[in-house]
Structure 1
Amino acid sequence: MQSVAAREQWLDRAMGWLPWVVWVVAVVAEFLTGSDIRLGPVMSAVPPLVAVAHGWRTVLASGVVAGLTQQAFLELVPSVETGAWTTAVTAVTGVTLASALSAAARVRRERQVEELHDVVGGMQRALLHPLPPELGGYRIAGFYQAAHSEARVGGDFYEALETPYGLRMVLGDVSGKGLPAVDATVTLLGAFREAAYEEDLGRVALVMDRALRRRQLISDDHRFATALIVEAGADGRLRMVNCGHVHPYLVNGEGAREIDLPACGLLGLFHLVPDRRPEPVAHTLAPGESFLVVTDGVTEARDPRRAFFDLEAFLAGPLPTGCPVALHEALLGALARHARGRLSDDAAALVLARRRADPSDV
């Protein structure tokens, strides 16, 4: 999302130069206007403006410059009362000291927030480690794109493992943002990574639901999650359990087709629908076909006019087939162009592709 970063850099530079622009304009205006107009008080605005984007040392330096400039302005007046001079110096000095303290506090808070973001971001990167290009006889790719917000982190998660049952993967989305969402993600990923090697696919969903339910009871944090759990056999047979997630798509040379999967309930809320058990739905992935699943951060991404990203329109266009990396990069690029680099929610996607019969054919 480079356009957002470029705009932020431009704004930071503009805020950095603004106080000096004010100073130059005031000096020029002082000499161009008549003696009945005095712009010395404007100098008191320079230190607070400097404090917005600079540290306390720069604020003190700007206060000295503002004070000297104001003194020069007073010298231009034929007769300056001592009280006026004292008032001007006191005003600039007081504003400069207050601005320096404000700048020091702002820098300290920014460092604390940056350290927290680094720690939490590092946790999330450790949880969502890069996927291998091939796993279980399939080619695989995925991305996680954080929303452009102060939270920076959310509850989207994914995993792919080679197990005795074949390739098993999950893509999910925990409700909410921040550290509680990351904590719930840790719970769900831990449950999936353990159960994927030991349990039938339906049981994997149950284990994840029970783990999140225990977390709800312990923490009194009642957030839930959606997820699509997939098992891919060596023969291309897919078994899927949909826990309230966005439906996946099959992509091939003829276009894309949505796979309509019945939902068994949201993770963490299975106890509200006790009669509905997670039943896997089977489908076959043909050689050369790709399987795409996304989170609602993709389907609900908005452009500046608040229009949603049209995933089906994207899939209706010319698409790379059989190559997960190319497909997921095309999706990520289309998403960035639509949202102008600013997502309102985290977005994630997984692409699974079965090789064609001819290994040399990409």
Structure 2
Amino acid sequence: MSRAEIVVDLAAIRGNIRVLRERTGVAMMTVVKADGYGHGMLASARAARAAGSEWLGVATVDEALALRAAGDTGRVLCWLTVPADDLAPVLAADIDVTVYTVDGLERVAEAAARAGLREAGRPARVQLKIDTGLSRGGATVAQWPELAARARDGEQGGAWRITGIWSHFSTSEVPEDPANAEQEKVFEEALAVAAAAGLRPEVRHLANSAAALLRPSSRYDLVRCGLASYGLDPAPGRHDLVLVPAMTVRADLALVKHIDAGDSVSYGHTWTAPAPTTLGLVPIGYAEGIARRAAAGDQPAAQVLVAGRRRPIRGAVCMDQFVVDLDGDTPEVGDEVLLWGPGTRGEPTAQDWALASGTISYEVVTRIGGRLTRRYVDSDTDQHDAQHDAQGERER
């Protein structure tokens, strides 16, 4: 066991995906981008496939190719490419790529030619993204008819196959927001334009984790679940589905010491003890992704679990360490510190840390790492996956 580590329960990932599949009733794309939201991309991908995910979703070319290099042969969608990316190996690896523009289609045609796909008798797999109101990636409504027409021309010419049409919500975690209905309306109109152009995609998809749970009309042929797959709630308090957080972050207590009333703690002396107390030193800091704002600002500081009690951070988070208030208790050096986990032992959750840090749980789990090792467990079998115990699994 490491002095400080991320522990990931693969059974929790599998279980979450299974309950999401049961709830939504359509095909599942498990999103494993950003190192599996901090849980490890390859191990998360294997868990997702074991739970029945027909698709995996990634952002970058490197992520997509890493899945293939690790032996994944199922459907994979890559959605954030740039002109400098070499798409030839991606297309040769039978990975679906997302295109927003006519120029993007031309880059696909050129890459498919270099990859020898026509000679191999198979077209490139392309998905088109329409911007329905997020104003981020995707073709605008004005650009869409030309993109759909060119996509159909290339499809008829054998350069590519349009395998999907998709978009992304801006506020699906707030189901009453009128933007959701408007985006779904724009998506329907885009599908009609595509159909009129002669496109017949394999999958149409709009719903992310929150929409998959809260907006059944947006499920179409496929839902893309990232955060929820890892047991983190995309819309707390708005549904009844039970998700199990898969990540626990733990460390060994490095030091216990007494301080007097009036003693100040850490850089800038941002906290001064109002009475005598004891402090515990936790050997993780912002180099590992602990947000400095977790112990700053108007909101209460983040807490950790030590010796059966939650203990608040005191003073500024440092690069390698932070200090917690033990309130006069004197646990042993080397005792376990739980920063966050599923909450089953009374420890804080990633959502608790998000609230304390003024952010979202997505950021809490994806930024954690640095010098931490990652260890996998499987609560279904209570066995460690020793093959992937240390940092060798890390792809960031």
TM-score range for the pair, normalised by the shorter chain length: under 0.3
Identify which of structures 1 and 2 has the higher relative contact order when contacts are C-alpha pairs closer than 8 Å and 6+ apart.
2
Q: TM-score, with normalisation over the residues of structure 2?
A: 0.24
Higher normalized helix content (fraction of residues)? 1
TM-score, normalised to structure 1, is: 0.25
Larger Rg, first or second structure (1 or 2):
1
